[in-house]
């Protein structure tokens, strides 16, 4: 049977993610504190009344063009609604981009370490991938000869898991190189609202042929259960991608929530203030444990644990046994000497430090 399937599907491997709270809850018998998923530490603005109201419409299909969501997203990033591609979270948009751009054997370039879905979805679309190294400034080491061979380039900004943030000027220089080479470039700005949104290039995407910028409401507004995101590009590419989208991939409740959330910019301002404050607490606290946190400009921190002598998967097991989930970073293309932790509120961050201290002492 397997040899009758599409080869890219039959040979697919699992792309691991954080946020496995329900799985851990079944094992532990209690809900853990989740530092493995990078969600807004303030959570979401209140949605209860909106959900109750939208339940009255549950007997009808949503409008598959999502005009309200598209208008709200367009206002949010200051483009026309014809430039918006609504999506069921980042994963659907990455898959849609890969399927639209890559044909069998086409090459996608992926700076590494980064989010594993870029490679996973490129392979599922039948493409090939090559990993690029990052330079000291957080820019991919990209030669013109690389672009000559490629069909697509993926870039995460801020980058997950390193926490590096490139300036809009740096990203646009890469985008201009891709335009010249006719290489499609996906810029994943899933975390930029929790970092420095002024460095976004979304507003400039409609003026380029080959640029697709992606935003996530999941992380920014703390709603991973709703699955919401959108892409920004030129009107022609947006039209093509919207035609290719799975019909009704966003529920009517989620679409209504998106319209509301995209008007809650004060919530994002408060979130960025909290993240900066708590990051400034966590980084020295992690150093005091003998670990090496990397500088970060977003709501998560990549931490070298090499000095502990522990492998990342073992440390993750030890902290989970104590009710705290952290992210083992092997799926990002890193070895077993790195973990990633989210930035949460002070009481929770203190709990993380205490649990890490116990786990390191137990294994030391």
Quick one: pLDDT band at residue 252, thresholds 50, 70, 90? very high
Residue 337 clears pLDDT 90, i.e. is over it: yes
Domains of the chain: 2-43+266-363 (3.90.1150.10), 48-264 (3.40.640.10)
In this prediction, residue 10 carries a pLDDT of 76
In the DSSP assignment, the letter for residue 362 is: H
In this prediction, residue 16 carries a pLDDT of 72
- Taking only the tens place, the pLDDT of each residue in 171-184 is 999 999 999 999 99
- What is the rounded average pLDDT of the residues 243-251? 94
Cα 62 to Cα 59, 65, 76: the distances in Å are 9, 9, 22
Residue 268 clears pLDDT 60, i.e. is over it: yes
- Taking only the tens place, the pLDDT of each residue in 66-103 is 999 999 999 999 999 999 999 999 999 999 999 999 99
Query: Angle at which helices 90-101 and 235-244 pack, to 10 degrees?
Result: 100
Instruction: Tell me the pLDDT of the chain averaged across its residues.
Output: 93
Quick one: pLDDT band at residue 331, thresholds 50, 70, 90? confident
- Taking only the tens place, the pLDDT of each residue in 16-26 is 766 566 776 67
pLDDT above 90: percentage of residues in the chain: 84
Q: What is this structure's pTM?
A: 0.94
Residue 302's beta-bridge partner residues? 340
In b/e form, how buried is each residue of 258-289, taking b as 16+ CB within 10 angstroms?
bbbbbeeeebbeebbebbeebbeebbebbeeb
Environment class of 29 (CB within 10 Å of its CB; exposed 0-12, middle 13-18, buried 19+): exposed
Q: Which residues contact 91 (CB under 8 A, 6 or more apart)?
A: 117, 121
For the chain, report the end-to-end CA distance as a whole number of angstroms: 49
Question: What is the chain's Cα-based Rg?
Answer: 20
- Taking only the tens place, the pLDDT of each residue in 3-14 is 887 877 877 777
- Taking only the tens place, the pLDDT of each residue in 176-208 is 999 999 999 999 999 999 999 999 999 999 999
Residue 306 clears pLDDT 80, i.e. is over it: yes
């Amino acid at each position: 049977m397997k040899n009758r399937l599409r080869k890219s599907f039959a040979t697919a491997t699992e792309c691991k993610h954080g946020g496995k709270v329900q799985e851990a809850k079944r094992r532990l018998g209690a809900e853990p504190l989740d530092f493995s998923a990078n969600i807004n530490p303030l959570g979401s603005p209140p949605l209860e009344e909106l959900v109750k109201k939208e339940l009255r419409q549950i007997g009808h299909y949503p409008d598959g063009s999502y005009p309200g969501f598209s208008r709200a997203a367009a206002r949010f990033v200051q483009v026309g609604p014809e430039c918006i591609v609504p999506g069921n979270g980042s994963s659907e948009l990455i898959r849609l981009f890969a399927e639209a751009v890559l044909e069998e054997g086409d090459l996608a370039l992926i700076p590494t370490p980064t989010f594993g879905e870029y490679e996973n979805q490129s392979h599922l679309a039948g493409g090939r991938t090559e990993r690029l190294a990052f330079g000291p400034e957080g820019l991919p080491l990209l030669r013109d000869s690389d672009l000559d061979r490629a069909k697509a380039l993926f870039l995460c900004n801020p980058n997950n898991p390193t926490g590096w943030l490139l300036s809009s000027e740096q990203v646009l220089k890469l985008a201009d190189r891709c335009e010249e080479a006719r290489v499609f470039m996906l810029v994943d700005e899933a975390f930029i609202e929790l970092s420095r949104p002024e460095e976004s290039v979304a507003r400039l995407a409609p003026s380029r042929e080959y640029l697709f910028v992606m935003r996530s409401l999941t992380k920014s507004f703390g709603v991973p259960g709703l699955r919401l995101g959108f892409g920004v590009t030129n009107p022609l590419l947006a039209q093509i991608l919207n035609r290719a989208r799975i019909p009704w991939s966003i529920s009517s409740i989620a679409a209504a929530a998106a319209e509301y959330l995209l008007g809650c910019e004060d919530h994002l301002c408060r979130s960025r203030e909290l993240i900066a404050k708590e990051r400034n607490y966590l980084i020295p606290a992690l150093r005091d444990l003998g670990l090496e946190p990397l500088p970060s400009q977003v709501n998560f921190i990549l931490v070298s644990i090499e000095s502990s002598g522990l492998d990342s998967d073992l440390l993750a097991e030890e902290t989970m046994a104590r009710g705290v989930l952290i992210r083992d970073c092997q799926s990002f293309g890193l070895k077993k000497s790195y973990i990633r932790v989210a930035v949460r509120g002070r009481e929770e961050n203190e709990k993380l430090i205490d649990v890490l201290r116990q786990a390191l002492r137990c294994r030391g």
